[in-house]
Amino acid sequence: MQLSVYVLKPGDVQPGGVGRMQPGGVGGPGAEDREGSGPYTRGSLPGPWAHRRLQFNEQAVERVRQIIGQVAAAGDQALRELSRQYDQRELPQPLAVAPEALAQAARQLDPELRQALELAISRVRRFHEQQKRRSWRLAEEAHPDADPSWLGQEIRPLRRVGIYVPGGRAAYPSSLIMAAVPAQVAGVQEIAVVSPPAPGGAGVHPLVAATAELLGLRELYPIGGAQAVAALALGTESIAPVDKVVGPGNLYVTLAKRELFGATGVDMLAGPSEVVIVADAAASPDLVAADLLSQAEHDEAAGCCLITPSPELAAQVQRSLEPLLQALPEESRRRAEDSLCHWGAIYVVPDLEAAFCLANALAPEHLEIQVEDAEAWLNRVDRAGTVFLGPWSPEPMGDYVAGTNHILPTHGTARFASGLSVDDFVRRMTVVSLGPSRFRLLAGPVMRLAGEEGLPAHAASVRLRLGLGPQGPGPSAPRSAQTGQTAPAVRSALERSATVQRSTRETDIRVELHLDGQRQLAIRTGIGFLDHLVEQLAFHAGWDLRLDARGDLQVDAHHLVEDTGMVLGQALREALGGKQGIARFGSAWIPMDEALAFCALDLSGRGYLQYSAHLPPGQEQVGGLPLYLLPEFLRALAYTSGITLHLNLDRGANAHHMVEAGFKALGRALAQAAQRPAASSQARPADVPSTKGVL
């Protein structure tokens, strides 16, 4: 028996894994997923693996649809008729295998076989326990006084699952173990098992019945084929419908899964098994040949592929195959010969880098790495169901007792799919729990986005909670783009918030401000130092602030800086509202390294700025911000918001520190002046006296 050999020329691969097409070669553009992932694509390869993909003929599809229709219409009666037609078996009455039959099958197990099954169950359970997910919560609060708000994820197991266990030529207890254990680890409460009927008192193969007993499963039905999948998905008089069907099967089982997806969940659409072996000159040709045969005996359509940079190893593997093949029992030998004839291949590549590029392109179900220092090459693998490292980790170990799952994606679907796991038996349910302050902070963006998407009822849902009418003003109100006018602000009736948008020919600025916040900040003006100063102001004031300012900074920063102060000032004025009961006055000294700054202000509504700064000579600009623009920003902020503001950058040797201390002092003074009695350390009267009345 000789496998087809394909030699890929050195010219097909360039350094770094970037391919180029050569006359007669298999490289080509578009195959690289990342550096080193290679020039190969499955379709561009010579040989049968270029065409190895799941294919369904229409005749089989139509027959499966008829079977599903029969089960949907006639339930148990259809199952009995189809069993007589396809399996030549009469199904028992009642349909389920009796519990005593399961117990008897387990008692009759050969002790050594029972020990092997129990070892497999134990190791598979131990591995899958590590896959369990946890529920979690992400708190959004920055301090304990805020109302609780959080986002989270809750993990819930599926309630009821169906497992298909193949039968026919032989029994496959390992497939039952691989499907049932992760479901049990996930916490699934009800597991229904179906398997084709077989001679014997249990109705199914005694080994499958015994394994079910060892796993603690009590619901087993002797049904196979598409009708079994239909019964699990749709339900019958005897079988309650399930949330998901898992487990391997033949073409008709796979087609039934595809047709019934939606009525139930399915794990994957898998085809005949396959192995790819990457081996170098140090690998044993006998072991490589034996591992290829171990896969070939599964099925006439099983795929077996060797990738090697060593022509000598390729020739030695060819010589090793024949005596190993002849040593197999006749039925296994026949299946292996058919598999190797139609789906066997050896690819000789320039080097190991090219070998792993090709392996990733094939995205095989099983990938064996039989090279020196195999683990060092693991990071080259992006696409495989399960990887087996080194000569002592052959694929048959994964089929039975290694602990990993052997229900895996085939035919290149490992590009996007993974093997069966605990994740297949749980639902991830996300949770939103917002308190009133967090809701009000997020309300503006929600209304704006809803307006943009033409969903007014979404916006109304938010407005009503803000104490506004369902058609009240919102962030989605039209902007006056070229006039310099400001779009209407949105302010909560219960909390001090505002959203302001202002667009002119020179700038486009949006501010979302919440005075009683948790210091959630997102500042972007395009001027790094201005971002920093506004962030310090908002942080020390205790605000939530989102500020997005855009302008032509290559021409002049003046408009952007001044307009940013203006829009922030208007948002502050809107958020303060009527100012009832606030402290009104605020002041703060801020020492910062060698710098010292002082701020005093009055929120009475009389806009005024007194600014004094003795900045060190030669420091006209910091972080892209010309310092002569600072008073322009402060004047726009003070006059638009109605603040009487005195800011003195008293001393310092560093302009950065002096200005930063001033903005921190401004933030502290604003926080003090805007305090309400409930938020203050000392009780204050509801009205603050003034020489001209009260605030």
Active-site positions?
A: 365-366
What is the C-alpha R_g of the chain?
A: 36
CB of 174 within 8 A of CB of 142? no
CB of 545 within 8 A of CB of 567? no
CA distances from 617 to 209, 548, 634, 655 (A): 90, 32, 21, 9
CB of 347 within 8 A of CB of 8? yes
> What is the 8-class DSSP label of residue 280?
-
CB neighbour burial string for 19-44, b if at least 16 within 10 angstroms, e if fewer: beeeeebbbbeebbeeebbbbbbbeb
Sequence-ordered alpha helix ranges (H) in 156-250: 173-186, 206-215, 225-234
Residue in the structure block whose two tokens are 């109605």: 642
Closest CA to 451 of 469, 477, 472: 477
Residue in the structure block whose two tokens are 């015994």: 210
CB of 456 within 8 A of CB of 478? no
Return the number of other C-beta atoms located less than 10 Å from residue 65's C-beta. Answer: 14
Residues whose CB falls within 8 Å of the CB of residue 358, separated by 6 or more in sequence, listed in order: 8, 38, 40, 45, 307, 347, 349
Closest CA to 529 of 659, 371, 352, 425: 659
CB of 496 within 8 A of CB of 515? yes
Rounded CA-CA distance 306/213 in Å is 40
Residue in the structure block whose two tokens are 């009736």: 493
CB neighbour burial string for 251-288, b if at least 16 within 10 angstroms, e if fewer: bbbbbbbebbeebbbbbbbbbbbbbbbbbbeebbbebb
Structure tokens at 491: 């302010």
**Sign (positive/negative) of CA torsion 444, 446, 452, 454?**
negative
Residues whose CB falls within 8 Å of the CB of residue 542, separated by 6 or more in sequence, listed in order: 515, 516, 517, 519, 671
CB of 172 within 8 A of CB of 247? no
